[in-house]
């Protein structure tokens, strides 16, 4: 019998059970009576998590992310909020945009909201140089509350990072594509974030390992909009490619539309790999092969680490989740 069973039997959410255990004023007396009755009838003893951890805490976690309209970040934020709520934590979110000034202000502002910890979603907060002074404001924040970074790495005290090994995952996928006979592989990205740069480095390393020259003209940056990508590529008649490696599924879906419009057979004439294993990948026809960047896994690592940290346990500053290629129908290897 665990908190999920109690919630189901009482017909409330796990967050409500947690609040009842903590005697929160937010829950009505009627609901409290019902939940307590179910707990008694089932001999349920709340564990340390359901009971709550800090006494002076507001039980609030701050989340900042550049753009919640991005599907990857939106899923991460939703997962974090849902699961932190199961531990009795509220979340407040601040969307910063991508500008450096605005990112700094986001972190300073959210620190004023009496939060117990800060989660930064999205790799555009991290610099390629992990010791860069540009992220000193994040190290400053970490003097007040523990900071958890999703998919980026910043070296600093009280800063804890969960990352996908984008370099290795990209290197491995592009290497497979090369072994399957493709030599002219387009790299498509929509930003220069930490994670996009890791993916680019993996792509270039795979080319170099195979003795294929890295060509600037094959590294293309476009907005992550399907039809924009299709149209932009169609405007380059000189483009002669038999593979596409994209840092986002939306970019890959655009490349797929381009290939079809050009009359190319996918994957025979051109193989395509996306990134993030999103609903867009499943929507494509043929369905898109894509790298699962393990967003939920990273969120879970962050929440588990945070709860251990609240219990004063030692936790790692850098934990990797292994990205892996989901093989669907735009690749044949």
Q: Which residue ranges make up the site for a copy of itself (CB under 8 A)? A: 12-13, 15-16, 19, 26-27, 31, 67-71, 74-75, 77-79, 81-82, 85, 90-95, 97, 99, 101-102, 105, 108-109, 113, 225-227, 250, 253, 257, 260, 279-280, 282-285
CB of 248 to a copy of itself, least distance (A): 11
Residues with Cβ within 8 Å of 192's Cβ and at least 6 positions away in sequence, in order, are 221
CB of 289 to a copy of itself, least distance (A): 15
* Residue number with CB closer to a copy of itself (181 or 223): 223
Tokens standing for residue 191:
């930003």
- CA-to-CA distance for 20 and 52, rounded, in angstroms? 11
* Residue number with CB closer to a copy of itself (24 or 175): 24
CB of 264 to a copy of itself, least distance (A): 14
* Residue number with CB closer to a copy of itself (67 or 176): 67
* Residue number with CB closer to a copy of itself (30 or 312): 30
Q: Under DSSP, is residue 149 helix (H, G, I), strand (E, B) or coil?
A: strand
Q: In the beta sheet, which residues pair with residue 189? A: 221
Q: In the beta sheet, which residues pair with residue 63? A: 93, 119
* Residue number with CB closer to a copy of itself (189 or 206): 189
* Residue number with CB closer to a copy of itself (220 or 280): 280
Q: Which helix (H) or strand (E) holds 211?
A: none
CA 71 to each of CA 102, 133, 151, 250: distance values in angstroms, whole numbers, following the listed order: 21, 30, 15, 10
CB of 98 to a copy of itself, least distance (A): 10
CB of 12 to a copy of itself, least distance (A): 6
Alpha-helix residue ranges (DSSP H) falling in 3-119 = 3-10, 14-21, 29-41, 48-51, 71-86, 100-111
Alpha-helix residue ranges (DSSP H) falling in the chain = 3-10, 14-21, 29-41, 48-51, 71-86, 100-111, 136-144, 166-179, 194-209, 226-234, 249-261, 279-283, 295-310
- CA-to-CA distance for 116 and 161, rounded, in angstroms? 17
CB of 241 to a copy of itself, least distance (A): 20
Which of 123, 127, 330, 143 is closest to 243 using CA atoms? 330
Which of 329, 318, 306, 272 is closest to 87 using CA atoms? 306
Which of 327, 322, 310, 328 is closest to 160 using CA atoms? 310
* Residue number with CB closer to a copy of itself (127 or 249): 249
Q: In the beta sheet, which residues pair with residue 94? A: 64
* Residue number with CB closer to a copy of itself (135 or 207): 135
* Residue number with CB closer to a copy of itself (27 or 196): 27
């Amino acid at each position: 019998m665990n908190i999920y069973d109690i919630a189901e039997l009482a017909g409330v959410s796990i967050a409500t059970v947690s609040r009842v255990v903590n005697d929160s004023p937010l829950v009505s007396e009627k609901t409290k009576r019902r939940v307590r009755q179910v707990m008694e009838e089932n001999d349920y003893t709340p564990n340390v998590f359901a009971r709550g951890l800090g006494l002076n805490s507001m039980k609030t976690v701050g989340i900042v992310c550049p753009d919640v309209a991005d599907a990857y970040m939106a899923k991460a934020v939703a997962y974090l909020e849902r699961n932190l709520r199961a531990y009795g934590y509220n979340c407040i979110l601040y969307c910063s945009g991508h500008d450096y000034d605005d990112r700094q202000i986001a972190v300073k502002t959210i620190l004023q909201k009496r939060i117990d910890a800060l989660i930064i979603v999205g790799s555009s907060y991290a610099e390629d140089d992990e010791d860069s002074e540009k992220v000193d404001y994040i190290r400053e924040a970490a003097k007040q509350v523990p900071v958890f970074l999703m998919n980026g790495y910043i070296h600093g005290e009280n800063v804890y990072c969960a990352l996908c090994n984008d370099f290795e995952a990209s290197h491995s996928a592009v290497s497979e594509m090369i072994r399957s006979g493709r030599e002219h592989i387009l790299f498509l990205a929509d930003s220069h974030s930490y994670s996009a740069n890791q993916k680019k480095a993996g792509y270039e390393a795979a080319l170099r390992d195979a003795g294929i020259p890295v060509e600037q003209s094959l590294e293309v940056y476009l907005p992550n909009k399907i039809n924009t990508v299709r149209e932009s590529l169609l405007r380059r008649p000189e483009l002669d490619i038999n593979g596409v490696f994209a840092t986002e599924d939306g970019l890959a879906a655009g490349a797929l539309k381009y290939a079809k419009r050009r009359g190319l057979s996918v994957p025979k004439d051109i193989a395509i790999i996306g990134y993030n294993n999103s609903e867009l990948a499943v929507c494509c026809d043929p369905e898109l092969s894509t790298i699962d960047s393990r967003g939920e896994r990273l969120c879970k690592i962050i929440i588990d680490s945070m709860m251990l940290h609240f219990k004063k346990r030692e936790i790692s500053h850098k934990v990797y989740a292994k990205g892996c290629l989901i093989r669907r129908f735009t690749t044949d290897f």
